[in-house]
Amino acid sequence: MRTFFCLLLLLFDGGIPTSHEPFINPTGTYLLKGEVKKNKIVGHSGELRTRLLNANTVAMCLYLNKGEPGYESGFLLDTLHYGDNQCICIPAGDTSCAIYFVFAVKSVEIYQALSNPRGGCGFRPGVLEPAVFDKTSDDIPVIEDLSGRGEP
């Protein structure tokens, strides 16, 4: 109950910066390129695909990979409320956290807020890190399960 109350305070007590910036259509594909050293990806990499369904709703799929040495990965597929150029995902199995998607014209910033520092918002530890994904396409993407993305 205390966790739920903390999240409510975060959501409704100014924890989310609200702005009245021009509407940004988030539809498209966004990429995070991991750092490559000696032909190995050592930094985080990922792909986010979003499609605006109506003025207040987006469908999205997210794939993240932690990189070398373990290449742990995570995946999210959801339909979220879209307002003030941002979305917030509170995983059904872990209400102690929230994942924020803040859209700009050519990028999206992804970060998380945790009330339990050991939590991972449904991701393995270290997989979901704050990052800025660059928009690579404005085309309407296919929203699909990307969880097998890194498998041979």
> Of the ranges 3-17, 60-74, 101-115, which one carries the lowest mean pLDDT score?
3-17
Residue 3: per-residue pLDDT: 45
Helix (H) or strand (E) holding 131, with range, is strand 131-137
DSSP secondary structure string, 60-107?
A: EEEEEE--TTT--EEEEEEEEE-BTTEEEE--TT-TTEEEEEEE-SSE
More confident residue, 124 or 46: 46
Residue ranges and CATH numbers for the domains of the chain are 2-137 (2.40.128)
More confident residue, 65 or 123: 65
The mean per-residue pLDDT over the stretch 122-139 comes to: 91
Mean pLDDT of the chain: 83
Percent of the chain surpassing pLDDT 70: 83
Residue 108: per-residue pLDDT: 98
Answering whether pTM is above 0.75, one says yes
State the pLDDT confidence band at 12, using cuts at 50, 70 and 90: very low
State the pLDDT confidence band at 145, using cuts at 50, 70 and 90: confident
